[in-house]
Structure 1
Amino acid sequence: MSQSDAILVIGPSWVGDMVMAQPLLMLLQARQPQRPVDVVAPPWSLPLLQRMPQVRRAIPLAVAHGQLALAQRWQLGHSLRQHYQQAILLPNSLKSAIVPFAAQIPQRTGFLGEWRFGLLNDVRILHKARLPRTVDRFVALGVEPHEPLPATPLPHLRSLPEQAVATLRHWLPAGLQRPILALCPGAEFGPAKRWPLSHFAELARLAHHNGWQVILLGSGKEEALGQQINALAGGVGCNLIGRTALEQAIDLLSLAGCVVSNDSGLMHVAAALDRPVVALFGSSDPQHTPPLGRQTRMISLGVPCSPCFRRRCPLPNLPCLSAITPRYVLEQVEKAWPAP
């Protein structure tokens, strides 16, 4: 095998999409185990890729989301010449095609999109109705165009038990006195995907009363959400939103008895860690980006205006999510994981 037999995957820019890319990597490894797979991805994603044994090397591309950075992308591509036989592009953007083109990779596979026809030479046409799930669209790029879509494997992130326990002890020095209920109230796309903060607070109170150790997890952009929930809940939980790195959040999710999350990146991480997940869907479509795991429950009211895929709800009370009651969510939690 020469080095040029390797495959370069251009990864997505969101946590959930990166998790949903793993089944493609699993398929490539199963079909062509002699061909190593490297992934170009944002630096923040390295903790995720390090938990995917299918990835030989993660190649960071430190470019802000939406930024062209033509010179930087071209320079990276030039440095990768003679290293790969095929590139598979998961984003549909023009920007994502620059690195493989600059690297002169012989086969450049991706869906037609955003004026990049000349940068690809293995162009696929995306039939959204045939492939409603994002994960299946990714997997389809790993097979021949005429080939039926194979069974899509579930993503599976490696747990690191010793590291996870050390992380737990760092944030909860008293140790694991109760089973953990992890609440993930953020959703970077916009507030139309977020269950009301007052509902998360009420769920935290109810769960604490029922014997759960409640923790709040999320990114620094969601820090204000955690503060509001913690105040409304009377401080019954441990608010770690904005305080943990992604690596630590993954550790804590791996120890959770159950995870309640909006349709967000951490929802996909928890499902890929094989944790029980109760996922709340409002403006987004559970048929498009479901949590991919063996222990997942999805709550979607199916109101007439949902899914609308809006960032903000134009209606006054967010009907697709506000009518999901905390008590009902707790019932689903305790069906997934018996009450402590």
Structure 2
Amino acid sequence: MTPGCTPGWKEARSILCVRLDALGDVLMCTPAMRVLRDVLPGRSLTLLTSPSGAAAAPFVPEIDEAIVHAAPWMKTEVPAAPEDLLALAATLAARRFDAAVVFTTYTQSALPAATLCWLAGIPLRLAHCRENPYHLLTDWIADPEPQAMVRHEVQRQLELVRHAGAPRQAGPAPGLSFALRAADVTATRVRLLRIGVDPDRPWLLLHPGASAASRRYPASHWARAVGLLARRTGLPIVITGSAAEVELVEEVRAGCGVGSYSLAGQLSLGELGAALHLAAVALTNNSGPAHVAAAVGTPVVDLYALTNPQHTPWRVRSRVLFQDVPCRFCFKSTCPAGHHACLAEVAPERVVDAVLELLPPAPGARLPSTAGADAASLGLNAG
């Protein structure tokens, strides 16, 4: 185990950043990637990530290039074949990276990705790891989670890159990256006007979908929340979702008893980012859009399934809603107990109250961004 950084990190100009998870996971690595890049003028970062994670790359200025791979040791519907993995190792070897940083959650092993980087001949390899990696890592950082602490995912990754020579930041930690594009903002404004929503006046964005069933607030609860929000705020409510979530969105709209607007299946990721930026408040499950909202500075109410503790909205005004349960932090994509109580027992009235708390005091006004006050109840370490 290396107490400090191995010589050579501060001179490494080309670094491979490995984060093989989804969109939100990549976004939570962007503060660490930013401080890592800024150590050396002209340093370039290449992201090795999943197809879902690669969607974030065009909106992250810290990333110069993305390499896509469906790693068989990660959750993926169609993992890469063995020959694809060997071909990837050859591709990485040809790129002659100076160093690699493997970003993981504490429930994941860094060893498969470390082996890939070792096969590719990348001379410096850094990761958190519980097992002794021997020669697979040049910079082995013993993983203190979850035995000694549990940190927010952003804090975990910032601490990791400090072992690669990145300085500890004075003051608040940096925010997430998601660079809005003018064309996406313009296109989204046009879409809103076409459905009858004035983008320059306050409106609410709701995103009821999530990739994991365990992270989805019940559709009937969403419908009641929509009805209550419409009646108590008088604000237009726009519901977004992927093409696969159109049916869910229509179920919510049909059950709410009030008028609402749908952009489900109509927005690119850049346009979704623009919509989140234009909204007064976003209401989401614990999913990628919650992190996009945080990145673009929009207050967010996060319906937070207790599958894991460390992914709350980062450095944005937020409310994190859940019902505490004995089976908290199950890390499952489907509720193993079958009751889904950590979300199902969150009353829609609580959701509406949280949205009202985050609404700006006057049209167009935005209060200063602060982290949500609910993270402490999840047991997150503040350091």
Which TM-score band (shorter chain)?
0.7 to 0.9
Equivalent pair of 1:267/1:291 in contact (CA under 8 Å): yes
Query: What residue number does 1:323 align with?
Result: 345
Query: What residue number does 2:99 align with?
Result: 86
Question: Mind listing any 5+ residue stretches in structure 1 that lack a counterpart?
Answer: none
Q: CA deviation at 1:231?
A: 1.7
Equivalent pair of 2:221/2:347 in contact (CA under 8 Å): yes
Equivalent pair of 1:82/1:105 in contact (CA under 8 Å): no
1:74-96 deviation digits (Å, cap 9, x = unpaired): 32332333532110111435543
Equivalent pair of 1:283/1:310 in contact (CA under 8 Å): no
The letter of the residue matching 1:273 is V
| Cα 1:131–1:331 shift into 2, 3 Å | closer
Q: 1:30 is matched with which residue: 33, 38, 43?
A: 38
The 10-residue stretch of structure 1 (19-28 or 213-222) with the greater mean CA deviation from structure 2:
213-222
| Cα 1:294–1:212 shift into 2, 3 Å | same
Q: Distance in 2 between matches of 1:8 and 1:127?
A: 24
Equivalent pair of 1:111/1:126 in contact (CA under 8 Å): yes
| Cα 1:172–1:201 shift into 2, 3 Å | farther
| Cα 1:19–1:172 shift into 2, 3 Å | same
| Cα 1:68–1:94 shift into 2, 3 Å | farther
| SS of equivalent residue, structure 1 residue 278 | strand
Identity %: 28
| SS of equivalent residue, structure 2 residue 59 | coil
| Cα 1:242–1:78 shift into 2, 3 Å | same
Equivalent pair of 1:263/1:284 in contact (CA under 8 Å): no
| SS of equivalent residue, structure 2 residue 84 | helix
Q: TM-score, normalised by structure 1?
A: 0.85
Q: CA deviation at 1:268?
A: 1.0
Q: 2:152 is matched with which residue: 130, 133, 139?
A: 133
Q: 2:47 is matched with which residue: 39, 57, 60?
A: 39
The 10-residue stretch of structure 1 (66-75 or 92-101) with the greater mean CA deviation from structure 2:
92-101
Is 1:103 paired with 2:120?
yes
| Cα 1:159–1:246 shift into 2, 3 Å | closer
What are the residue-to-residue correspondences of 1:52-71 with 2, within 5 Å? Answer: 52-61=60-69, 65-66=75-76, 67-71=79-83
Q: 2:272 is matched with which residue: 235, 245, 249?
A: 249
Q: Distance in 2 between matches of 1:156 and 1:32?
A: 19
The 10-residue stretch of structure 1 (137-146 or 81-90) with the greater mean CA deviation from structure 2:
137-146
Aligned residues: 336
| Cα 1:231–1:146 shift into 2, 3 Å | same
- Could you say what the CA RMSD is over the residues aligned between the two structures, in angstroms? 3.1
Q: 1:202 is matched with which residue: 218, 221, 224?
A: 224
| SS of equivalent residue, structure 1 residue 59 | strand
Is 1:306 paired with 2:328?
yes
The 10-residue stretch of structure 1 (143-152 or 108-117) with the greater mean CA deviation from structure 2:
143-152
| SS of equivalent residue, structure 1 residue 9 | strand
Q: Distance in 2 between matches of 1:79 and 1:61?
A: 12
Is 1:124 paired with 2:136?
no
Q: CA deviation at 1:8?
A: 0.9
Q: Distance in 2 between matches of 1:314 and 1:55?
A: 37
The letter of the residue matching 2:149 is R
Q: 1:168 is matched with which residue: 181, 189, 193?
A: 189
Q: CA deviation at 1:294?
A: 2.3
Is 1:72 paired with 2:84?
yes
Query: What residue number does 1:112 align with?
Result: 129
The letter of the residue matching 1:265 is G
Question: Mind listing any 5+ residue stretches in structure 2 that lack a counterpart?
Answer: 1-10, 364-383
